[in-house]
Structure 1
Amino acid sequence: MKRFALVLLMLVFGLLFMASFASAEAAPPRPPRQSNGLALTPPMGWNSWNKFGCDINESVIRAAADAMVSSGMKGAGYQYVVIDDCWHGERDLNGDIQADPKRFPSGIKALADYIHGKGLKFGIYSDAGKKTCAGRPGSRGYEYQDARQYAAWGVDYLKYDWCSTYSQDAKSTYETMSDALRASGRPIVFSLCEWGQNKPWLWGETIGNLWRMSGDIYDGWESREGRENGMTNILDMQQGLEGYAGPGHWNDPDMLEVGNGGMTFEEYKSHFSLWAVLAAPLMAGNDLARMSEETKSILTNKEIIAVDQDALGVQGHRIAKNGDDEVWAKPLQGGGRAIVLFNRGKETHKIGVTWETLGYPAALGLSVRDLWSHKNLSKAKGSFAADVPPHGVVMIRVEA
């Protein structure tokens, strides 16, 4: 009898196992992830890291929001005020992340409300690992809980870093936070700060809205010993990635260094012009409350910002190179082109571009607008050339 009962029990378990297997086999496949519909043009704003690093508090962030409005940056299109690393305190008994009580005594919700009251949007930072790059609590294992907290605080933008991730799979890790943000019930732009190690441009389009494709930028013209990723080095990394960018999903060559003191005025103009022709996110990284008029004139150049924010959403690329002389071009809505004549050399060079290189008939007459001098130039046919200062640019817009 016992033997019969044992056989019967084994048969029941076998049938249950087969039923569960058949059920799993019959389950419909998960539908493909869709875009979240945000950031249809590259995000514009300010981030605390490049200038302040960990030396942040609520007064610094409020001052940046105030200056974004009073300087004219808000009027020029900047929206997001983003706190980077070091805002974190500890998790409470329920596991909810808290702000550092000394740096942010009023709390993150009050800060978000202040920024929203200025007509701006609020961004925050976390990390895909157990710890952030500065050793604060990361979101690994708390993705949905943190996303709910961010939504409750009124967060509009999340920068999600890649420190302390060890053997984690990048794509699935970012998918988890992407799903958590969507489940939070609040539209939150998702910035993948993965440094390009796992080629996020190949898989990031429906996961996030922008992805870093290099390590951190530093405030210099080019790499030097001990400091990688100068401005021109990151620029070169962008060539060939233009096909992966478009409305809602952008290659991110990192935040702007304009006004931080490591480059000249001409070099900063080049930096801003090239980021615009790349359809890059324009996230200022300087001290907005104390910026010079020169810095303000760069960051609030509405004609160049219009190139970056062009609704066609095409990333420009280098179309010609002759030694230190380069031409970068970006197609625009309506059939025009934005063109950057870029001089990497140490002497003034005359640099030109032909209409055929731009895809126009040689005999076509085009109007030419200088975007730094804010002047209409003589109508041109067949080609255009200009003297370009060392480490500088001439940026024009041509249209039929």
Structure 2
Amino acid sequence: MTRPTDRESGAGWRSTAHRATRLARLGLAAALTLLVTPVIALTSAPPASALGNGLALTPPMGWNDWNAYGCNVSEQLVEQTAQAMHDNGMQAAGYQYVNIDDCWMASGRDGSGNLVANSGKFPDGIAAVANYVHSLGLKLGIYEDAGTATCAGYPGSYGHEQQDARLFASWGVDYLKEDWCNIPFGDFSGQSHQQVAQTLYTRMRDALSSTGRPIAFSMCNGWDSSVQPWNWAGPVANLWRTTVDIQPNFTSMLNNFHVNVGLADHAGPGAWNDPDMLEIGNGMTATENQAEFSLWAEMAAPLIEGGNLVNPGSSTLSALTNKAVIAVDQDSLGKQGTQVSSSNGHDVLAKPLANGDVSVVLFNETGSTATISTTASAIGKTGSSGYTLTDLWTGATSTTSGTISTSVPAHGAVMYRVTGGTTGGGPAGEIHAVGAGKCLDVPNATQTNGTQLQIFDCTGGTGQIWASSGGRLTIYNGAKCLDAYDNQTTAGTKVEIWDCNGGANQQWRINSNGTITGVQSGLCLDVTGAGTANGTPVELWPCNGGSNQRWTMG
């Protein structure tokens, strides 16, 4: 198969290496060695705001054909897999996307410039497959590429973004995975790979939006570490690859975990770090499968299985449908778990949950069984003389006064849900409106749900003392939350107080530039009309850098 080459001098090795990694699964490049994940330099850029298309408010769950089948995708395979997911408990457990990867299309566009499905593989066309998938209550995903050709050499979307988006919408597509091969960098003289990525992925975002059909958008850019999408892609896509393509072995899974685990500040409802598909049942041991599923759930990663679901092993299906672990991944608080400690290959991760519980993963990277320990205070729990630990894989419960410790097998993970006490947050204090020199205030310190916030002279009263906890801004000792009215995401939405409920409209990012953005809307906390008078209401508004959108805490 002839494949286009990169048009940027010196960039071809990146495209070639990425294609080789993908095509090695097909037996076409067996002699190539697995790429080592490059070291990624993290920046201090503020977390990205969410896209705000109302999709993927929890990490997407589904299936993709590539890991198990490569280019051997077909209408029959996709429909059989959809039926299997409908029948075997996958759909009931929350999996909804049935995603077609590369090699689904003909080698060229038709006379009108439209993409065409390969008639041998999809004799009834993609729209018919979408109809079948939809009839089961599932959703269909499709694959394309931001460049001139896909990674396997089929027509890319470069220069055809609007046309392709309209076509996908007309077919009933619900999810687009857009890859990053064969990018014509030469058309963007003087621009970095990150700048080109921002341009091309934004083009497709806008094209999808213009169709009027809700289509979740997944950026697959992992081979190019210079793109660093977590720093900017929140308003562009619902999820973005943080790693190279995963392989069905523990070393590859571990590499992707190490890259992804440090990016928690950049994820949230509608905007997820993606360490690539699950390899459950594709060659790792049952212990390693359990570890991968635990880690991906703890990191609030998309749960897109890449294995054979038509004839899965019983242990594979059991792992993929563990509802207690899935509940951690799908928790409405939308927090990615963070690494509490890591020493000699022994890792502890903690993830706060919407109801005040904390999920804890004790992960053993090493080749020998080890005892791994942490404490309730280390994972953010305080204020109790006793805690209940529920093992999410065995269902067993135990109690502790503070120590969390167990024996973990080699390459294994133990996952607990910890209840009791309270989940600690940041220190409480006033939130100062920089432009007005006043404080974020609940009028008359009322605790009535729906009360719109305002600015007022700083008094230190109870209606002005806020705390940051688990992505929420709470008041009255956690009794009420800062809330975007009725889950609205439009300019001018009222900002109010409401009972804390874990909703995405109660999730906020406190950014290093002084702005406070709503995770669900991507809009900024704004003093209406840049007013400075007592009683000026506070609302959501598109971020514009104004002083009426800058705040300080404490």
Relative to the length of structure 1, the TM-score reads: 0.88
Structure 2: distance between partners of 1:359 and 1:150 = 45
Q: Which residue of 2 aligns with 1:105?
A: 123
Aligned equivalent of 1:385, options 405, 413, 421: 405
Gaps of 5+ in 2: 1-48, 189-195, 421-554
Aligned equivalent of 2:279, options 248, 257, 264: 257
Aligned equivalent of 2:142, options 124, 127, 137: 124
Structure 2: distance between partners of 1:332 and 1:363 = 17
List per-residue Cα deviations over 1:312-365 (Å, max 9, x = no partner): 000002111221211111111121111011111222111111112112237531
CA contact (8 A) 2:261 2:299 kept: no
Structure 2: distance between partners of 1:330 and 1:358 = 8
RMSD: 1.3
Q: Which residue of 2 aligns with 1:396?
A: 416
- The yes-or-no answer on 1:284 pairing with 2:311 is no
Structure 1: distance between partners of 2:226 and 2:332 = 29
Q: Which residue of 1 aligns with 2:331?
A: 310
Structure 2: distance between partners of 1:78 and 1:355 = 32
CA contact (8 A) 1:362 1:381 kept: no
Q: Which residue of 2 aligns with 1:188?
A: 215
Letter in 1 for 2:287: E
Residue 34 of structure 1 and its aligned partner are, at CA, apart by: 5.3
SS in 1 for 2:116: strand
CA contact (8 A) 1:342 1:394 kept: yes
CA contact (8 A) 2:373 2:403 kept: yes
Q: Which residue of 2 aligns with 1:200?
A: 229
Q: Which residue of 2 aligns with 1:137?
A: 155
CA contact (8 A) 1:354 1:362 kept: no
CA contact (8 A) 1:356 1:362 kept: no
CA contact (8 A) 1:197 1:213 kept: no
Q: Which residue of 1 aligns with 2:197?
A: 170
List per-residue Cα deviations over 1:153-193 (Å, max 9, x = no partner): 00000000000004150001000000000001100000011
List per-residue Cα deviations over 1:185-221 (Å, max 9, x = no partner): 1000000111143111111001100000111001111
> What does residue range 8-157 of structure 1 map to in structure 2 within 5 Å?
35-89=52-106, 90-157=108-175
Q: After TM superposition, what 4+ stretches of structure 1 lie above 3 angstroms from structure 2?
A: none
Structure 2: distance between partners of 1:347 and 1:362 = 35
Structure 1: distance between partners of 2:226 and 2:70 = 23
Relative to the length of structure 2, the TM-score reads: 0.64
Q: Which residue of 2 aligns with 1:23?
A: none
Residue 65 of structure 1 and its aligned partner are, at CA, apart by: 0.4
Letter in 1 for 2:240: W
Structure 2: distance between partners of 1:246 and 1:356 = 24
> What does residue range 250-399 of structure 1 map to in structure 2 within 5 Å?
250-261=272-283, 263-361=284-382, 363-375=384-396, 377-399=397-419
List per-residue Cα deviations over 1:95-148 (Å, max 9, x = no partner): 111100111000000000000001100000000011000000010010000000
Structure 2: distance between partners of 1:237 and 1:346 = 21
List per-residue Cα deviations over 1:72-117 (Å, max 9, x = no partner): 0000000000000000113111111110011100000000000000
Aligned equivalent of 2:244, options 192, 200, 215: 215
Structure 1: distance between partners of 2:72 and 2:279 = 17
Gaps of 5+ in 1: 1-31, 223-229
Structure 2: distance between partners of 1:260 and 1:184 = 37
Structure 1: distance between partners of 2:221 and 2:169 = 23
Letter in 2 for 1:251: N
List per-residue Cα deviations over 1:206-262 (Å, max 9, x = no partner): 11000001110011111xxxxxxx00011000132100000000000000000012x
CA contact (8 A) 2:392 2:416 kept: yes
CA contact (8 A) 2:269 2:334 kept: yes
Structure 2: distance between partners of 1:149 and 1:197 = 31
Letter in 2 for 1:384: I
Would the alpha carbon gap of residues 372 and 205 (structure 1) be closer, same or farther in structure 2, given more than 3 Å must change? same
List per-residue Cα deviations over 1:362-387 (Å, max 9, x = no partner): 75311111100022x22211111111
Would the alpha carbon gap of residues 304 and 34 (structure 1) be closer, same or farther in structure 2, given more than 3 Å must change? closer
SS in 2 for 1:41: coil
Letter in 2 for 1:111: V
Structure 1: distance between partners of 2:87 and 2:305 = 15
Structure 2: distance between partners of 1:340 and 1:139 = 40
Residue 33 of structure 1 and its aligned partner are, at CA, apart by: 9.6
CA contact (8 A) 1:362 1:382 kept: no
SS in 1 for 2:262: coil
Structure 1: distance between partners of 2:366 and 2:97 = 35
CA contact (8 A) 1:341 1:395 kept: yes
Letter in 1 for 2:82: A
SS in 2 for 1:289: coil
Q: Which residue of 1 aligns with 2:29?
A: none
Letter in 1 for 2:411: H
Q: Which residue of 1 aligns with 2:261?
A: 239
Aligned length: 360
Structure 2: distance between partners of 1:81 and 1:344 = 32
CA contact (8 A) 2:51 2:237 kept: no
CA contact (8 A) 1:36 1:206 kept: no
